[in-house]
Amino acid sequence: MTFYFILAILVLFKYAAGAVPRVDPLVDSKVGLIRGQVATDGDYSMFLGIPYAKVDEANPFGPSVPYPAFEDTFSAFDDSAICPQVEEFNNTIVGTVDCLHLNVYVPTAASSRNRLPVLVWIYGGGFEIGFAGRYLYGPKFLVRHDIILVTLNYRLGPYGFMCLDTPAAPGNQGLKDQQLALRWVRDNIEAFGGDADKITIFGESAGSASVDFHLYQEQENLFQQAIMQSGTILNPWVVTNPGNEGPLKLAEHLGVNTDDVSEALSFLATVETKLVIAATIELGLTFRPCVENNFDDVVPFITEHPINLPVPNARFVKLFIGFNNDEGLAYYGNANAESLSQLDIVGDSLSEAFDFDSHTYEEMSEILRHFYFGDKDVSEETKRQVLDLFSDISFGHPTQRSLRKYYDNGANTIFSYLFSYAGERNFVKYNNKITIGGASHADEISYLFDVSYMKQIMSDEEQVVVDRMTSLWANFVKYGDPTPETTDLLPVKWVPATRDRWNYLNIDSELTMESRPFNDRMAFLDLFYKMNENFQKGINQNDA
C-alpha cells in the first residue's frame, strides 16, 4: 500500500450518543508508516512534525543528513518543533537542532486515483527567525482548494548559515536543509495522494529568496513552479561575506579564547543552543547565505555571487513573483521624529548594495538623496520618502532586476503582482499596530494562512481578499495560470509580464491589471544601477 488511506471504523451507530470516533489517517510512505489526524476545521488531514533530516550533534553547524526510515509507525501529531532562535512573539530564546521536521496537510479528496498538486511553504524571517507550525501558518484557507500544503522547518542563524573556510561548516546549511525537505516531498508525497510531478514551492521574504536560490540549482528536478513573495536572491540583504570571525567571537564571548576555527566550532557544539543564540544577539552577529568555497566531498550550494550566475531553472519553471506596495512600513512605520533624525537611510541603502570608494560614495549619495528627498533632511516630514527609498532598494527594484534576469535566462511565463490591500488583518501592521495606509512587508501572509491569533479578525471585505488570493495562488499551483478563466470572484484576467512590459496584477480591495509599478522611481534606479554596475556588491568577483 503506497497511497493515502484511512484506518478507522466509521459506523458505531449502536451507541446511544450516536458519536462517531475520530478517523486517524495512516500512510505507507517510502520512509515507513506515518499516522496523522483528521482536522476539525475543514475537510483535510494533518501529518505534523515528520522528521525529514537530522543534524550531527558533534557538529550542529554542519550539513544535515536524511532522517532514517521509521522502524515503527510514526505518530505525526506535534508541530511544535522550532529551530534555535529568538522567537518573535515573546522575544524569548527557544528551539533545538532537532527541528528539521515538516507538516503535510492533505484534503480528503486526495487519493492514488486523484493525485493533487502540492504547494511547499518556506517561511521568512531574515534567515534568523521562523517556524513552520500552525500558530502562524494554518492551512485551511489553502487546502480547501484541493491542493496539498507542506510547511517545513530549516535551521537559522549560526546553526543554519555559519559560513567558514572549512568543510565542517562551509555555509548555507539552512538552504541545504530545505533541499533535503524538497527531496523528501518529491520522494514521499505520492503516499499522501500528491502528484510528485506538480510541486510548487513558495515563500515570503527570506523564504522567497530561498525559493530563488533553488532556481539557481541544477542538480535535480525537485519542483515545477515557484512563487516568490517580497524577496529574491538579488535583494541586497540576502548574501553576506562573514568570514571566519563569527565562531571565534562566539567562543570568546562564551569563555574560550582561540584563533583556531575548528577548536571554536568544537567548543560551540558542546554549548547549549540558547547560550549560542544569546551570544549571537549580544555580539550583533548576522549569519545569512554566502558564497561557499569548494571542498572535496562537499556539494556546495553556490560558489560564486549570484549576481554573476545564470538561473538554470528559469527556462523550465513557471514563475509567480511580486512584492507589497509599502514594504518599508515594517521597518519604519512606527519611527518617531527622534529616530528618523538619527537615521542615515541614504548611506545605509548605498552601503548595503554597493562597494563605493569614498569619492564615488559622496557623489552617489548626493544623487540618491536629491532624487528622494530634494533639499529636505530626513525627518518626520519626509517619512514617506524614507519608506519609499527603503522599499525600492530592499524589495521593489531587486524584484524588477530578478524578473529581467529570468527572461534573460529563458523564462517563458512570469506572473507578477503588487499587493496593496490595507485591512485590519494585515499581518505586520496588525502585530506592530501600524496605522499608516498601505501594505507592509509580510502583510499578505494572513490572507493566505489561517493565523491562529487572528481568527476573529475578518470583515466581509477581508474575506473576499482571502478568497481571491488563495484562489489565485491555488489556481497557479493547479493550472500554472492564476486565472484560467474569469469569474465573479476573479473578474480580471491576469496577463503575464513580458521582457518589454512589466504587467502586474494589483491586489487591493479590487483586482486591476496595471503596468510597471512605481515607474518613475524604478526608472531612476535602473539608471542608477546601470551607472554604478561595477560597484555592485559581488559583481564579477568571488566573495568567499
C-beta separation of 68 from 130 below 8 A:
no
| Whole-angstrom distance, CA of residue 69 vs CA of residue 33 | 9
502: DSSP letter: -
Which triple of cell numbers denotes residue 468? 481571491
Nearest to 330 by CA among 402, 425, 238, 436: 436
* 363 three-class SS: helix
- Which residue stretches of 138-230 are H helix? 140-143, 157-161, 173-188, 206-215
Residue of 128, 190, 292, 327 marked catalytic: 327
Q: How do 85-87 and 92-94 pair as beta strands?
A: antiparallel
Smallest CA-to-CA distance from 109 within 151, 139, 147 is with: 147
Instruction: Verify whether residue 327 is a known catalytic residue.
Output: yes
Could you say which DSSP state residue 320 is in?
Answer: E
> Which run of H or of E encompasses 196?
strand 194-204
Q: Percent helix, strand and coil across the chain, each rounded to 5? A: 35, 20, 50
Amino acid letter, 365 = S
Active-site choice (64, 205, 394, 471): 205
For Cα atoms 508, 510, 513, give the angle at the middle one, nearest 5 degrees: 85
Cα separation, 195 vs 391, whole angstroms:
37
Does residue 208 have an active-site annotation?
no
Q: Which residues are catalytic?
A: 205, 327
